[in-house]
Amino acid sequence: MSTGRFITVEGIDGAGKSSHLEYLASAIRARGAGVVVTREPGGTPLGEKLRAMALNDPMEGTTEALVMFAARREHLVRVIEPALGRGDWVLSDRFSDATYAYQCGGRGLPASVFETLERLVHPDRQPDATFLFDLDPATAYERQRAQSRDPDRFEREAAEFFRRVRDAYLDRARSSGGRIHVIDASGTLDTVRDRLARAFAKAFA
């Protein structure tokens, strides 16, 4: 019987979620489970090519959603399902909640189109738990700027875009039936990690 769990982390650019992946992976290993750490868009050779396009090449909004879901299908079939089938845990930096937040919230893609694509690509799979790092867009922008690398197509968006993305994430959390755990991502790395540790312990008590 498979005991693998599918965990995702989400948040607007600059919220700091990726800094906590290694901590989460070690918390999973401490339970004696194997863990596959992966990301979206990406996670497979084709998915990484699609990621480069999605982050750099200008494209229309529905095209953008299709590219995200195309990468996701590969990821699901080649990485996520096989790992869960082996009993490993999968820890993914983003999944479909990101498409809901960025493409529906940010770009205005109708929720009905999102739901259709979600049903097509992963009809029987949702994360077991999602940790949403929530931060106000102004602070997230400052954190992102401090990383001093070239911003991608999303990171160059205006504050108003990230306000919509954040609101869409929070709406989805409210209707997720407890799957999405909202973590206050303000404060130091240690403070946020303590909040995450409590949320993780609660999710997998």
Chain residues in the site for ligand TMP (CB under 6 A): 13, 39-41, 55, 68, 93-94, 98-99, 102-103, 154
Q: How far is the CB of 65 from ligand TMP (least distance, A)?
A: 8
Cβ proximity to ligand TMP: between 156 and 198 the closer is 156
For the CB of residue 12, give the shortest distance to ligand TMP in the complex, in Å: 8
Of 54, 76, 165, the closest CA to residue 127 belongs to 76
In a 10 Å sphere around its CB, with 0-12 CB exposed, 13-18 middle and 19+ buried, how is residue 150 labelled?
Answer: exposed
SS3 call for 80 = helix
Residue of 93, 85, 83, 95 lying closest to 36 (CA atoms): 83
C-alpha closest to that of 7 among 166, 170, 125? 125
Minimum distance from residue 15 beta carbon to ligand TMP (Å): 9
Closer residue to ligand TMP (CB): 40 or 134 = 40
Contact 21, 89 (CB under 8 A): no
Q: Please report how close the Cβ of residue 60 comes to ligand TMP at its closest, in angstroms.
A: 14
Query: Closer to ligand TMP at the Cβ: 146 or 205?
Result: 146
In the complex with ligand TMP, the residue whose CB is nearer, 39 or 122, is: 39
Classify burial at 139, counting beta carbons within 10 Å of its beta carbon; exposed 0-12, middle 13-18, buried 19 or more.
middle
At 57, give phi and psi (nearest 5°): -95, 125
Task: Tell me the closest approach of the beta carbon of residue 55 to ligand TMP, in angstroms.
Answer: 6
33 vs 73 by CB, closer to ligand TMP: 73
